[in-house]
């Protein structure tokens, strides 16, 4: 029986921190399956990164789509690490936000990560090894107005991940939560980037730190990591 190739499954790989993670991991010789709704951007990234990057069109908020992607991916590869990075927001106060927008944020940021986590866990438990890295946000630590749905989704994922971690203590599976502060990515409105980008963190720097965390193969695990610009909040 041919041994499966080991792969890292990264959601939200088409832009921002996800794209930077894909670039850093591939640069270090890691095979990455990058999923996103925007297959055109993934294909552009594939042209840059080459054969170590596998582009996958997937809507993480669609449970059946996630199950389908996992089934195909796991037939050929051993998913050693899942990085839950996909995320959206609206930057609106609750009175101005629509229920459709709120539901989509919760579906993508929280339930999407639940779907992917549930899909990879049986295999990781059977193998008695694996790593799940959740890219959260400092909204899990502090209150930011104009982000109620986003804060709810990320705080919900934080609580979910903490419970899952405790349930897996004896399974040799690492559950790592990374909560970045303001980072210069296209998730922000253009006016905000123009005004604050110099104070924001760099996505590549965050990706390099995540890779160092991924590389740790002893029984040491960095479970909760909060990242902020050295100058503090915007």
Catalytic residues: 150
Token pair belonging to 41? 């951007």
DSSP the chain: -PPPEEEEEEESTTSHHHHHHHHHHHHTT--EEEEES-HHHHHHHHHHHGGGEEEEE--TT-HHHHHHHHHHHHHHEEEEEEEE---------TTTS-HHHHHHHIIIIIIHHHHHHHHHHHHHHHHT-EEEEEE--GGGTS--TT-HHHHHHHHHHHHHHHHHHHHTGGGTEEEEEEEE-SB-STTS-HHHHHHHTTTSBPHHHHHHHHHHHHH--SS----EEEE--TT---
Phi, psi of 197 (to 5 degrees): -55, -35
The separation between CA 203 and the C-alpha centre of its own chain, rounded to angstroms, equals 13
């Amino acid at each position: 029986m041919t041994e499966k190739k080991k792969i890292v499954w990264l959601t939200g790989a088409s832009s921002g921190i996800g794209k930077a993670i894909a670039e850093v991991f591939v640069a270090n010789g890691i095979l990455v399956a990058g999923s996103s709704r925007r297959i055109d951007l993934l294909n552009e990234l594939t042209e840059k990164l080459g054969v170590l990057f596998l582009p996958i069109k997937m809507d993480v908020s669609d449970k059946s789509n996630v199950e389908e992607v996992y089934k195909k991916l796991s037939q050929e590869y051993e998913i050693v690490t899942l990085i839950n990075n996909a995320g959206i927001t609206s930057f609106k106060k609750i009175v101005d936000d629509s229920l459709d927008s709120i539901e989509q944020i919760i579906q993508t940021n929280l339930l999407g990560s639940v779907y992917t986590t549930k899909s990879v866990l049986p295999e990781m438990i059977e193998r008695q090894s694996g790593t799940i890295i959740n890219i959260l946000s400092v909204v899990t630590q502090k209150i930011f107005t104009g982000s109620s749905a986003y804060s709810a989704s990320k705080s919900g994922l934080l609580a979910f991940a903490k419970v899952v971690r405790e349930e897996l203590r004896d399974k040799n599976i690492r559950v790592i939560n990374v909560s970045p502060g303001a980072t210069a990515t296209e998730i922000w409105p253009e006016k905000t980037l123009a005004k604050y980008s110099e104070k924001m963190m760099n996505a590549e720097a965050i990706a390099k730190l995540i890779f160092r965390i991924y590389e740790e193969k002893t029984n040491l695990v960095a479970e909760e990591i909060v990242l902020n610009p050295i100058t503090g909040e915007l």
